[in-house]
Amino acid sequence: MTMTDMVAETLRPGEPAIFDGAIVIGGGAAGLAAAHALVKAGVAVQVLERENRLAEPWHRRHKNLHLNTHRDLSALPGVTYPTGTPGFPHRTAVIRHLNEFAETHRLPVAFGVAVDEIVSGGDHWIVRTSTGPRRAHHVVVATGRDRQPFIPQWKGMEGFAGRIVHSADFGSARDYDGKTVLVVGAGNSGFDALNHLAGANPGQMWLSARSGPALLPKRIGRKIAVHRFSPLLARLPVWLADAVIAATQRLALGDLTKFGLPASPSGGASRLAGDYTAIAADDGAAAAIKAGRIIVVPQLREFTSDGVILDNGQTIAPDVVIAATGYRTGLETMVGKLGVLDGKGVPLFNGSDSDPKLPGLWFTGMRPSIRGCFSNAGIQGDALARRIARQKR
């Protein structure tokens, strides 16, 4: 199916002309980096941001949130973090960085513009928005792979007397002092929550793990930031990167399967490329598992009014359940009719890749990367901009 094969909407009198450039949807790191790269490549840009300010998701995330990627590899092109910024920047530093990037490069961001749907206009794309339709030959979707927190609909959860929160709404670690806590999910978000809890004073903690993560320490010996080596890992063949990640995990953290944590079903680099599972970062949780402060238990089967039943029939009674169960892109309404999403709503192509049957439609920032989302945003933005610039010549 080509764009002209689809039901096309024609330009009607009084409607906006076709923009001779690219519309970028989303003003996060990926969208801003793509917009900057397009401007450098000589392509006119309009950035549409549904919120009324930049970095809104970072404003909403929990107060303890820090990047798991190092400061030196988490800066967008042409802007650096101020002297004194911690190696793993706090969310407030990230908010400042995104705003400084947009201001420094004078990126044209239209705030409060929500995109409802993208449809074919025949030889261009029509972006239906809350402020009316916009038309362009190129549309870059950069709304993020973590747009919508996802919590499974577990049996009995409506009647649970305790509290169920998504890891995105973790809050402050001190909010859990004295409370028993179950974290569901042993991925990046799950270990992020556990790292914070391990430094606070909760009661008993449990980790419900379906499968084990690829897990690397944030630092080795308190000085060596492991993420600094990510550009080297990214250049290795996947099988070799898998081996390096596994060896580092074993040497730095030991054999956590002895404490009930399942083994990862495949290597860290393989999972990044295969099912888009990010590598988790340890900053205290592994030690808490070894010390028995965090007990690894089987998958959650269902809730009762005062507890949780696990797959092995065991019942535990957490005061709070933290669902570290991932996110969804929420793109079904916007592009679901175009056949560009997989079963989980993730775009089938990303970055400089595209579908020749859908010329001018692009996605960026929709995959995790060993380098981290900020570094990868710059790399993908440059590659995407080069492709669009060549097509416009």
Domain C-terminal end among 284, 301, 326: 326
**Residue 270: CA count within 13 A, CB half-sphere:** 12
Relative to beta strand 320-323, strand 163-166 is: parallel
Residue 63: the pLDDT is: 81
> Do 185 and 47 share a structural domain?
no
> Do 294 and 177 share a structural domain?
yes
Tens-digit pLDDT profile for residues 314-361: 999 999 999 999 999 999 999 999 999 999 899 999 999 999 999 999
- Alpha-carbon distance of 391 to 40, in angstroms, equals 15
> Do 159 and 86 share a structural domain?
no
The residues of the chain scoring below 50 in pLDDT are 1-9, 11
The tokens of 128 are what?
Answer: 């239906």
> Do 189 and 281 share a structural domain?
yes
CB-based contacts of 119, cutoff 8 Å, min separation 6: 6, 9, 125, 126, 128, 337
The tokens of 87 are what?
Answer: 């190696």
Predicted TM-score (pTM) of the model is: 0.90
CB-based contacts of 43, cutoff 8 Å, min separation 6: 21, 22, 138, 385, 388, 389, 392
CB atoms within 10 A of CB 344: 12
Q: First-to-last CA distance in the chain?
A: 25
Domain C-terminal end among 268, 298, 326: 326
> Do 312 and 190 share a structural domain?
yes
> Do 285 and 176 share a structural domain?
yes
Residue 300 in any domain: the answer is yes
> Do 301 and 176 share a structural domain?
yes
Domain C-terminal end among 326, 361, 384: 326
Tens-digit pLDDT profile for residues 84-133: 999 999 999 999 999 999 999 999 999 999 999 999 998 899 999 999 99
Residue 2 in any domain: the answer is no
Residue 10 in any domain: the answer is no
Residue 14 in any domain: the answer is no
Residue 8: the pLDDT is: 41
Number of domains in the chain: 2
> Do 235 and 106 share a structural domain?
no
CB-based contacts of 238, cutoff 8 Å, min separation 6: 267, 269, 270, 273
Residue 25 in any domain: the answer is yes
The single-letter code of the amino acid at 199 is G
> Do 360 and 277 share a structural domain?
no
**Helix locations, 203-352, DSSP H:** 230-235, 238-253, 268-274, 285-290, 332-335
Residue 5 in any domain: the answer is no
CATH number at residue 311: 3.50.50.60
Residue 238 in any domain: the answer is yes
Contact present, 270 and 238 (Cβ < 8 Å): yes
Residue 281 in any domain: the answer is yes
Domain residue limits at 310: 150-326
- Alpha-carbon distance of 132 to 115, in angstroms, equals 9
**Helix locations, 127-229, DSSP H:** 188-198
The tokens of 353 are what?
Answer: 């890749």
> Do 278 and 241 share a structural domain?
yes
Residue 385: the pLDDT is: 97
Would you call 268 helix, strand, or coil by DSSP? Answer: helix
> Do 79 and 122 share a structural domain?
yes
> Do 351 and 205 share a structural domain?
no
